[in-house]
Amino acid sequence: MSSPAGRVPLRLGILTPHLRPHRGLAATTMSMIVVMVALDLAGPILLARSIDAAVESAGSDRIVELAIWFLGVAVGAQVLSATTTYLGARIGWTIANDLRLVAGRHLTSLDLDYHTSTNPGTLIERVDGDITAIAEFFSNFAVRVTSTTLLLGGIVALTFAEHPLAGWMTLGFTVIVMGMLFATRSLGVAASESERGLSARLYGFIEERLAALDDIRANGAGAQVMRRFKAIMADWFLGSRRAWMRRSIIWVTIIGSFSAGSLIALTLGTRLVGQGAMTIGTAYLIFQYMAKLEAPIEEITNQMQELQKAAAGTRRLSEILALTPSVDRSGTTPLPRGALSLAFEGVDFSYDDGVPVLSGIDLDIPAGTHLGLLGRTGGGKSTMTKLIARFHDPSAGTVRLDGIDLRTADPASVRRAISFITQDVQLFDGTVKQNVTFFDPIVADEDVEDALASIGLADWAHALPDGIHTELGTNGIGISSGEAQLVALARAHLRDPGLIILDEPSSRIDPATEALLTKALARLTEGRTSIVIAHRLATVANVDRVAILERGALVESGNRAALAADPSSRLSGMLAAAHDGLLVEGSTA
């Protein structure tokens, strides 16, 4: 995994591909904004004309006519405001959903090392929190900033048309306030980035502790967890307050400026009316326009704060998208269907720390072979299976399936050809069928039932309250770890892989479920290549071959029966030790 060095700059360019499909709708929205702003500017003019008409004792018909026009303009402006807000939100949230898909796909392509070192809460904050900030910004920014910019320009132009002195006053005030705004616009960016980081830390802490709730309760660690939670909450609160205060500098500056601006407009209007240089209606119009300046400039202030949040979110998203997996997935060679042969040719492997995990592994497994993989904990068994599943590539040497170098194989066909069944099977909040199919709506009930029947699990499924439509997870029934293994076997059979990897499938289950699981395994592995990581010698009693690892080196491999019969073999020694009660549980792993 590689990541760019140093600070990643603001990259709004990552949004460009997602903006292009909405160009037509955006153009329509902008056209409606122009009309909306024109109506918004017309309202005060109609009011000013009504005041002058009343002062000049014009007829009631004229005043009524102006009132009707004013109501029509006000209603039209409100309708257009609601419509453009809706369209802007539609564009913004559509882009956000596209970004979530992009971020989700990219995160799933990253190496397991990244996901191991990054807690899920942090990833949730990146994919949801940061992109939500970007979506809220783009939902409002284009509509509101465009409309307020047009409104500002229109107010200045119309004020000049009414009276040059008032125009210069309005222009000068606008320039000064906008200058102050832009001078302080970046004050909150760093604080916003820090705030997002603290939020990610908080969510990550909560997620990890909820996942470990049983261990926390069993060990009486609740008080320690709450003390740590309080400290993290304090950091989050202080960081959020600091970010809010820095973003509020702009808002406080604008409020003070507009109080002064309203006083200036009122003073100027009163003097010009007293000199006869301006009508009361025009003075009212200038005062209204000055007051009306507050809304667009305040809106720009708010949007600048949202821009700061979006800038932080965009930078963090850019950092995620800049990460690259170490595994090259550009291979195109498809793997065939059916049982696959497996070969390790001079394979070395070490993680980022450079410590060798596997050294000089040479192993040839013919198609259809059932291999038991033995060795102590840390001997390299799991690493070997991760190389087979291509979660990593060897540091040296080659891993081949059916004679094909995995580095040149099509990644999709690798995923299709291999099924990896771990001890800790993950079940989702859904039905048995949804868990077997990973929520694929295309798979029919009959296909799931046939898969269960093919490996001898039909009676087990029928015994569930609603069969394959029984709800599992938080809203359904709880099932044992052994039954979860049965669901995993059904998943594997439905995919019809050529190679199956099992990590001690019979551990942590009761004898009755183990008997059912053993029969299901025998049917599942029939006609397929299988590798069983064994923590108990009984698990490899029925395999064809055995391979034993010690400290990353392959120290023994061959036919299981032949090795068991050879008193000088390591396997024979393990079996003898187990028979004499000298080999404790787990010491072969």
Strand partners, 556: 548
Please give the single-letter amino acid code of residue 263: L
Q: Which CATH class is domain 342-427+479-579?
A: alpha beta
Domain definitions of the chain by residue range: 12-322, 342-427+479-579
Among 295, 285, 289, smallest CA distance to 46 is for 285
Q: Is 70 exceeded by the pLDDT of residue 576? A: yes
* Residue range 162-183: mean pLDDT, rounded: 79
pLDDT at residue 370 in the model: 93
Q: Which two tokens stand for residue 264?
A: 């200036």
Per-position DSSP letters for 482-533, written without gaps between them? HHHHHHHHHHHHHH--SEEEEE-TTTT--HHHHHHHHHHHHHHHTTSEEEEE
Contact of 420 with 385, CB cutoff 8 Å = yes
**Closest to 180 (Cα-Cα) out of 89, 77, 298, 18:** 298
Burial of 202 (0-12, 13-18, 19+ CB in 10 A): buried
* pLDDT 10s digits, 119-151: 777 777 777 778 877 777 766 776 777 788 888
Give the per-residue pLDDT at 8.
36
pLDDT tier, 272 (very low <50, low <70, confident <90, very high otherwise): confident
What's the mean pLDDT in 431-436?
89
Greatest mean pLDDT among 14-28, 64-78, 167-181, 478-492 lies in 64-78
Residue 36 in this model has a pLDDT that exceeds 90 = no
**pLDDT at residue 462 tops 60:** yes
In tens, the pLDDT along 277-334 reads 777 777 777 777 777 777 777 777 667 667 777 777 778 788 888 888 888 888 899 9
Q: How far apart are the C-alpha atoms of 237 and 201, rounded to whole Å?
A: 12
* Block residue for tokens 């990253």: 110
Residue 438, SS3 per DSSP: coil
At what angle are helices 146-162 and 164-183 packed, to 10 degrees?
Answer: 150
Q: What does the angle CA 447 – CA 448 – CA 449 come to, to the nearest 5 degrees?
A: 90
C-alpha 366 chain-centroid distance: 41
Q: Which of 510, 529, 562, 531 is nearest to 575 (CA)?
A: 562
pLDDT band of 175, cuts 50, 70, 90: confident
Percentage of the chain lying above the pLDDT 90 cut: 16
For the range 512-515, what are the long-range contacts, defined as Cβ-Cβ under 8 Å and sequence gap of 24 or more?
513/480, 513/482, 513/483, 513/485, 513/486, 514/482
Q: What percent of the chain has pLDDT over 70?
A: 88
Q: Note the pLDDT of residue 373.
A: 92
- According to DSSP, the β-strands at 545-550 and 396-401 are unpaired
**Whole-angstrom distance, CA of residue 110 vs CA of residue 411:** 13
Confidence band (pLDDT; 50, 70, 90) for 243? confident
CATH architecture of the domain covering 12-322 = Up-down Bundle (1.20)
pLDDT tens figures, 71-110: 898 899 889 888 988 888 888 788 888 888 888 888 888 8
